[in-house]
Structure 1
């Protein structure tokens, strides 16, 4: 009897599980889910902090006051409009009414103040962005009006308020008890179009559409982000139907050969964005032998950069002749490019006293060999291939380039310490370029500061950068940028290689479209449109 009751109980339990599973499957079939992939898990999603939180995910969950658009303008987000005082120091934002965080907590000026309090409390961490140090005060004027006061007229204020971090907004209910969002939060609760509902570190992150989103209904209910670190494995997952969408930096999601193969396949839609970040090589003006401007100029004329873009980047990036793309504000200066001309390189080196003899293929000056270290991340195939091509070109003009392949951590330490002759670097693209990137040149946190350290006008350059960020005179601003960018160009501090791109790949039976945004980390999943029959 006891055994019979046990069997009956087991049968009932199994029936309940089957019924529950059937109901779940029926409900799930009504939902639209797009499966995407990223090399690592989304992270803790602290809205005001950096790695390991992933930018694409922070953008999904948290909203800014204003959004940067492709044409360089700013559109309303959590602020519907804003006024700037005549002296450029006071910004008054009218906040969108009726907005709620994903947990139903009202979004208002007090919530904005609370988030600004947390950001400013950790000011030291954000000093790469001048806006943080320019802030003089902030206040709630009324329920839907927020006022920000600056020490100086800082013209990039809207640009930096639009960034994915740190000026995004966490629900007051999700703040830790001590208010310090730099260490932890109770939950990633924002006003953004998506909510992070489930994570399994190393496997996936599941986002669901925020029912409280002020943006309105969207085509897709869920975004499943699978953790796939290897580009080859990602391509295989797409081909087997495990993921629906490949989107992001052209050098990160899949290899370029695979993308070009997809371009020619029926039923697969591919897209390539316009120019984004500037990929370049920084040359150290404070370290022998690149402390000699003649060496730097000879290097620029001695490398066939267009051939690298064609053969290494397979034509998927745009050739660069300047540090910033010409479509960035204040950057179209008609600077004379350093054309590929090995004979001119040889003349420059000869004139500067770098002699070549039969004893060695490499030049010397006063007995010192023309040898320099070129540092790159050893696991980055594109950096490795580019470095080898550059090494080969410079060998032809008598420059000995020693390739130094390192782990990422060691590589970034070299950028900060200045222990390099040449090293890969890149600008940050819109909306950071040129103002935020130039601002960071004054701080030894990237390769730029060290690369410029030997310039006799370094102090004037830094002073000009400080001035350009706070001037309200448009002509003065343009003149200052002309001086800054022309000086860096003529001093041959950077070897521009290319302007990166973003890609998208999907099957036309699964998606109708997803637009590009100004940066590869700004993935507008909520703007995905689906075919009429859905996924």
Structure 2
């Protein structure tokens, strides 16, 4: 159990660290830290308004058509989509309007005519078609997203008009066009000579409000206002992003006024959030629930092939204790993979209640017994041991992992925690080299359609977790039918089967309906939460 921090101790600790840092700066630079801070402040004033942010990982090459190591929040700063997701609705963005054919297989988009890329080149039908074709050329990599599978072609019907033709009517078409990747638009000068963006791009040239102006890999990146931006210009001149992998170091940098804003799930521990909030010195906010924090349980690995073992884990985890003592009430307890108010997700499912006796009985039924004077259960001479993998940079996941480890120890399961940097953690999700692994849902507006679509492809932990299920083939077929269904009643029946099967097979351990948290200095104004989990609206922020 994670206990609330001792604030007096923590304050003393931070003061000691800050003093050491100050002495190191003096020793290295021959300049007192106070003078250096004054110089930096004067420099910032001369350069204009600057908001200083931090990320646990480098922003990556900012390829709009690819995934890790590209960071989604940074891709979203530079690149834009034809349509945008706002308050539960899809609204025009780079396309002013669209028309849909009677058979639902053709979408004609009428593009804005006042849009330029950051290098001054025109945004038009030619570049839209080129970007879509670049994504289609790498279709296998994007096959987790059914929209890419369903696009037949994209054609230019005029300088500012594009028609996207589909193989079948596809109800989430517009929602998936609003996603941060892969269907966003790179300027002509950003394309490599081959036109193949699956390997690299020349430069991150987009139509968004920000342009990358300075960058040192694994250290920092600097984004300045795109002077060619067609929309409302950002209120500050620059966003500077330092790479700070460790959450406690991020808190120290924030208190030392080296960064202005902390934002996002897992960026700092909930203990640190509580501590900063209770100082009364800073502004804090919590978003509405955006996604589900969950753990995928691999149905094809060792003891977890037995449904009784998976169900025992569900019953042994005291989620309410996590909500109260790790999240301090910032998240709401999750009994199902998606909240009931998400589309097609209001399914009558019986929660796995916290019941240690039931968990122990399930393990006994599975043949895992607890020998006298031993801590962990055994079967045929083997110890009941599982690994739980998490992203070492996610401070919240680490805290949850420690609680689950303790809860499963109580019923005789030995859990080994595996914390790895983001890229290695992502590889485990993809290749299935895990027993249990954190696997949050994508959130609005991906869920449930894009999330269940990805379950059919080994690109996320979901496929690997489910591959051991006896009904996996049928499950994948039902997912395809749901995505392509044109009848609402039929679609709901299919989603009911999908979500009920996943719940009853206990391949997910839902934890909470997750929120984004932010802490910021009082001179930062206009901070808002993004519509999507990975969207940070820097353009709305101001600095006094």
Give the TM-score of the pair, scaled to structure 2.
0.86
Aligned pair in 2 of structure 1 residues 305, 214: CA closer, same or farther (>3 Å)?
same
Between the aligned partners of 1:416 and 1:313, the Cα distance in structure 2 is 28
The residue that corresponds to 2:535 in the other structure is 522
Matched, 1:201 2:231: no
Q: 1:280-310: per-residue Cα shift (whole Å, max 9, x none)?
A: 2222222332222222222211221111232
The residue that corresponds to 2:166 in the other structure is 150
Matched, 1:36 2:53: yes
Name the SS for the 1:327 alignment partner: coil
Q: Shift of the alpha carbon at 1:502?
A: 1.1
The residue that corresponds to 1:17 in the other structure is none
Between the aligned partners of 2:468 and 2:151, the Cα distance in structure 1 is 32
Provide the alpha-carbon RMSD of the alignment: 2.5
Q: Shift of the alpha carbon at 1:90?
A: 0.9
Q: How many residues align?
A: 502
The residue that corresponds to 2:65 in the other structure is 48
Q: Shift of the alpha carbon at 1:173?
A: 3.1
Q: Shift of the alpha carbon at 1:39?
A: 2.5
Q: 1:115-163: per-residue Cα shift (whole Å, max 9, x none)?
A: 1122112222212212112111111111121100011112222122111
Name the SS for the 1:229 alignment partner: coil
The residue that corresponds to 2:234 in the other structure is 218
Between the aligned partners of 1:210 and 1:315, the Cα distance in structure 2 is 39
Between the aligned partners of 2:488 and 2:453, the Cα distance in structure 1 is 18
Q: Is the 8 A contact 1:284 1:454 kept in 2?
A: yes
Matched, 1:407 2:420: yes
The residue that corresponds to 2:83 in the other structure is 66
Q: Shift of the alpha carbon at 1:384?
A: 4.4
The residue that corresponds to 2:101 in the other structure is 85
Q: Is the 8 A contact 1:330 1:481 kept in 2?
A: yes
Q: Shift of the alpha carbon at 1:197?
A: 1.6
Q: How does 1:242-257 map to 2 (within 5 A)?
A: 242-249=258-265, 251-252=266-267, 254-257=268-271
Between the aligned partners of 2:192 and 2:466, the Cα distance in structure 1 is 41
Q: How does 1:56-205 map to 2 (within 5 A)?
A: 56-69=73-86, 71-205=87-221
Matched, 1:467 2:481: yes
Between the aligned partners of 1:129 and 1:478, the Cα distance in structure 2 is 20
Matched, 1:371 2:384: yes
Of 448, 454, 461, 1:440 maps to 454
Q: Is the 8 A contact 1:119 1:167 kept in 2?
A: yes
Q: Is the 8 A contact 1:275 1:325 kept in 2?
A: no
Aligned pair in 2 of structure 1 residues 378, 226: CA closer, same or farther (>3 Å)?
closer
Aligned pair in 2 of structure 1 residues 77, 485: CA closer, same or farther (>3 Å)?
same
Q: Shift of the alpha carbon at 1:209?
A: 1.4
Between the aligned partners of 2:464 and 2:57, the Cα distance in structure 1 is 30
Q: Is the 8 A contact 1:376 1:383 kept in 2?
A: no
Name the SS for the 1:454 alignment partner: coil
Q: How does 1:348-497 map to 2 (within 5 A)?
A: 348-350=362-364, 354-356=368-370, 358=372, 360=374, 362-363=376-377, 367=380, 371-377=384-390, 379=392, 382-397=396-411, 399-405=412-418, 407-408=420-421, 411-497=425-511
Between the aligned partners of 2:296 and 2:317, the Cα distance in structure 1 is 14
Between the aligned partners of 1:293 and 1:312, the Cα distance in structure 2 is 28
Aligned pair in 2 of structure 1 residues 30, 376: CA closer, same or farther (>3 Å)?
closer
Q: Shift of the alpha carbon at 1:105?
A: 1.4
Name the SS for the 1:125 alignment partner: coil
5+ long unaligned stretches in structure 1: 1-21
Aligned pair in 2 of structure 1 residues 110, 206: CA closer, same or farther (>3 Å)?
same
Between the aligned partners of 2:398 and 2:260, the Cα distance in structure 1 is 31
Q: Shift of the alpha carbon at 1:52?
A: 2.6
Give the TM-score of the pair, scaled to structure 1.
0.87
Between the aligned partners of 1:506 and 1:27, the Cα distance in structure 2 is 18
Q: 1:239-272: per-residue Cα shift (whole Å, max 9, x none)?
A: 22222222222x12x2222211222233421001
Q: 1:437-493: per-residue Cα shift (whole Å, max 9, x none)?
A: 111111223322222222221111000011111111111111111110011111111
Between the aligned partners of 1:201 and 1:423, the Cα distance in structure 2 is 28
Q: 1:473-531: per-residue Cα shift (whole Å, max 9, x none)?
A: 111111111110011111111111122221222222x1222111133321111112x3x
5+ long unaligned stretches in structure 2: 1-38
Between the aligned partners of 2:233 and 2:281, the Cα distance in structure 1 is 28
Between the aligned partners of 1:304 and 1:134, the Cα distance in structure 2 is 42
Between the aligned partners of 1:188 and 1:89, the Cα distance in structure 2 is 32
Aligned pair in 2 of structure 1 residues 358, 76: CA closer, same or farther (>3 Å)?
same
Q: 1:19-53: per-residue Cα shift (whole Å, max 9, x none)?
A: xxx9xx89964732222222333332222122232
Between the aligned partners of 2:468 and 2:220, the Cα distance in structure 1 is 47
Between the aligned partners of 2:53 and 2:376, the Cα distance in structure 1 is 50
The residue that corresponds to 1:268 in the other structure is 282
Between the aligned partners of 2:44 and 2:329, the Cα distance in structure 1 is 46
Between the aligned partners of 1:362 and 1:229, the Cα distance in structure 2 is 35
Q: Is the 8 A contact 2:409 2:415 kept in 1?
A: no
Between the aligned partners of 1:27 and 1:348, the Cα distance in structure 2 is 62
Q: 1:151-193: per-residue Cα shift (whole Å, max 9, x none)?
A: 1112222122111111111122332222122233332221101
